[in-house]
Amino acid sequence: QVQLVESGGGLVHAGGSLRRSCAGSGSIFSIDVMVWYRQTPGKQRELVAVINSGGSTNYADSVKGRFTISRDNAKNTVYLQMNSLKPEDKAVYYCSVIAGTANYWGQGTQVTVSS
C-alpha cells in the first residue's frame, strides 16, 4: 500500500513563509513527476509547481519567484518552500506523485494566510 503523508501546513501572516513536505511510503518505484496542487472552495484544483525526475521545475505564474519545489529521491519526498505568502495563497494544498502508470495523492493540508 502506497501512502503520501503531507506536513507543514498551517497559519501564517502575509509575507511569511511555510515549508510543505510530502513523504511517500510503501512500494513506490521510479517516481517520475512530483506535483503540488491547491484548491479553494468553488474553484478548480490549480497546479502550483511540478518537478520531474531530472529536477526540471515549472510553476504557476501566480507563485513564480516566491515558491520553490524540490525533491529528495532517496526519501521519496517532495518539498514546497513558500515565501512571501499572500492572502490569495490560502487554499488546501495537495501533493501528487506519478510513478509509472500510477498516480498517488496526499491527504491535503490547509494553508491560511492572514492579512
Task: Tell me the per-residue pLDDT of 72-83, one tens digit each, with 9 for 90 and over.
Answer: 988 889 999 999
Q: Where are the extended beta strands (E) located within 1-115?
A: 3-7, 10-13, 18-25, 31-39, 46-52, 57-59, 67-72, 77-82, 91-99, 102-105, 109-114
pLDDT (0 to 100) of residue 29: 65
Give the model confidence (pLDDT) of 1-50 as tens digits: 778 999 988 899 999 999 999 998 877 667 789 999 999 999 999 999 99
Torsion of CA 15, 18, 51, 74, to 10 degrees: 150
User: Residue 100: pLDDT above 90?
Assistant: no
DSSP for residue 73: G
pLDDT at 96 over 90: yes
